[in-house]
């Protein structure tokens, strides 16, 4: 089924169509949630809420955007609501390839150090500092940054999800990067 047929079938309560939608978008939803909450268990819980919302709100989908854009919007909102409701800092998970796209060869070299306790502790501290800096960004900057860096969405796609212009997204990304630089510089400057 194409997107239009899929959403129409879901609007009529077709459970097979809903199952197809979940299979098609589950990885996207879980990964997007994880980029906000940094914890796979929480991301999976939120993704269940997202799909319940999609099913219950299918009649509200007007087709003015792509189905994936609508699902991203619901996912971002559910993730932000989770953060607000729970007001907790999640345990930090590995960011390496997801954020910076480091190469496989770098991973192989790093794995030779992975068993060293001092390397592991330092690496965990860097990840924690990075996630704290990302989490401290203003909400719209954090959303744009997460969608671009974790979900690899283009500025055009982010603009659709956030219902902004591309130039607004460019500005948000620029400010997010500057804020991260300042925050991380201050953090590491204080350590020395």
Q: What is the pLDDT of residues 61-91, one digit of tens each?
A: 888 888 999 999 999 999 999 988 875 343 3
Whole-number pLDDT of residue 95? 39
Q: In sequence order, what are the residues at sequence separation of 6 or more whose Cβ sits closer than 8 angstroms to the Cβ of residue 175?
A: 141
Whole-structure pTM value: 0.67
Averaged pLDDT, 153-165:
92
Q: Is the pLDDT of residue 52 over 90?
A: yes
Q: Calculate the CA dihedral of residues 56, 153, 100, 105 and round it to 10 degrees.
A: 100
Averaged pLDDT, 35-63:
91
Confidence tier at 156 by pLDDT (50, 70, 90): very high
Distance between CA 161 and CA 121 in Å, rounded? 37
What ranges make up the beta strands (E) of the chain?
A: none
Q: Is the pLDDT of residue 106 over 60?
A: no
Domains and CATH numbers, the chain: 1-91 (1.10.1740.10), 93-192 (1.10.10.10)
């Amino acid at each position: 089924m194409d997107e239009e047929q899929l959403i129409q079938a879901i609007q009529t309560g077709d459970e097979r169509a809903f199952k197809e939608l979940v299979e098609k978008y589950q990885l996207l939803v879980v990964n997007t949630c994880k980029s906000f909450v940094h914890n796979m268990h929480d991301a999976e819980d939120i993704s269940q809420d997202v799909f319940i919302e999609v099913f219950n709100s299918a009649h509200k989908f007007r087709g003015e955007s792509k189905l994936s854009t609508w699902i991203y919007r619901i996912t971002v909102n559910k993730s932000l609501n989770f953060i607000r409701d729970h007001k907790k800092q999640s345990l930090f998970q590995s960011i390496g390839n997801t954020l910076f796209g480091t190469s496989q060869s770098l991973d192989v070299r790093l794995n030779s150090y992975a068993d060293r306790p001092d390397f592991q502790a330092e690496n965990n501290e860097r990840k924690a500092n990075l996630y704290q800096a990302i989490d401290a960004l203003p909400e719209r900057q954090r959303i744009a940054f997460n969608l671009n860096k974790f979900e690899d969405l283009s500025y055009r796609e982010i603009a659709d999800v956030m219902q902004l212009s591309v130039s607004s997204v460019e500005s948000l990304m620029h400010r997010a990067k500057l804020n991260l630089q300042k925050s991380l510089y201050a953090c590491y400057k204080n350590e020395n």
